Amino acid sequence: MQLTVGELAHGGAALARVDGRVVFVEGAIPGETVEAEVTHRRKDFWRAQATVVLDPAAARIDPPCPYFKAGCGGCQLQYLAYPEQLAQKRQVLHRQLERAHLEFPIERIDVLGMENPWRYRLRGEFHVLRRGGAVSLGFYRKHTYQTLPIDACLIHAEAIERALPAFARAAEDPAAAGVTALQFTWAPGTSDLLWAPYPPGSADPSFGARAAGWIPELNLNDDSIGMDDAGRHFRVRPEAFVQVNVRQRDVLYERAVAFAQLTGGERAVDAYAGIGMLTARLAERAAGVIAVEESPYAVRLGELNMQLNGCGNVHYRRGRVEDTVRHLDESVDVLVLDPPRAGCTEAAVEAMATLRAERIVYISCDPSTLARDVSRFCAAGRYTLVEVALVDMFPQTYHIEAVVKLERNA
């Protein structure tokens, strides 16, 4: 069918309508006319793939990765010139805020992109494909659980890419038959590569040693590695959350600290604190920081990392945010939160709002849950949204990272 598409939706597809039905057209840029093939039909919407571009946009480029054209689901926007990727993401973020009835001018959304939007991922998960005794590593094809074998990935660090053939060979051993995926984490500036099998424990102890025999320039570790951030040193394990783009992580955290406006006397809460990379930055400028984290593994690492970095004014509290912050006795000046993609439960928002912090800094990797939660914080005139920054952590993909600042109303 022939379609003229409109706005880009969160997810990377452009919107069109056929007889009143919404069609999400992948591979199309707003304003283009395309021939499209319907790939999925559902009661409330269709999904389609652009097959021929009849009226290409000026921002259309030839995707540099051959696996993108083969249907790899890792990236969605390689056909879109990088400046236009940023412009479209800004539009998506603004529309999500509007839908949550948050008035914020689009021109005031600060967009912080990358000078070089490639080779930025320091962590990746690769699925195992077994065919006739041979093993390949790769990513799922779009909207399937079928693995597309790959030899290279332009958004991952080259250290991870170099490791793929060795781990594929090691996975051919019958002792690794239970391994379905491998996760890699590289420590920038080092030759240290952390690996972990999925499911956990599915590879015998010799698995990493076999792979290491073919990667002499890398030091493999299946437990933990050290990672530097802003002059500090952190221990990282496979199950620990870290921002995967080290260059933009610094941009994101610096903006979050700037939004917090710490002058040395404030008491801060870092909710969903993880292993403490942002916590340590806050601790440098605050009188004290309470780090709230539910994961026992992250709490143990976080406490270790605070000791390693001399952050004696940080105290970890283990538990769910909605349960833990209700029992804080201290007054709180600044609240910082970086929840999972699903955002906060309504109970967590209400519990954090009762802290009556002067400022709230919210980091999010999903614009829809960000808008929903900010709207809850602003309910009944409690807070006002005053700053929004889009930090492009995931170039070539539809993913949007944002950090916002709220101020408490008198």
Q: Which positions are catalytic? A: 365, 401
One DSSP character per residue, 2-14 reads EEE--PBPTTSPE
Burial of 183 from C-beta contacts in 10 A (0-12 / 13-18 / 19+)? middle
Helices (H), 133-276: 158-170, 206-212, 246-260
Instruction: Locate 37 and state its tokens.
Output: 């093939």
Please choose, from the candidates 83, 71, 241, the residue with its C-alpha nearest in 3D space to the C-alpha of residue 150.
Answer: 71
Instruction: Locate 113 and state its tokens.
Output: 């992109």
Cβ(235)–Cβ(299) below 8 Å: no
CA dihedral 251→254→260→266, nearest 10 degrees, is 160
Strand-pairing partners, residue 359, are 334, 407
- What does each C-alpha distance from 200 to 182, 260, 386, 388 come to in angstroms? 10, 38, 43, 39
As a whole number of angstroms, the distance between CA 401 and CA 257 comes to 16
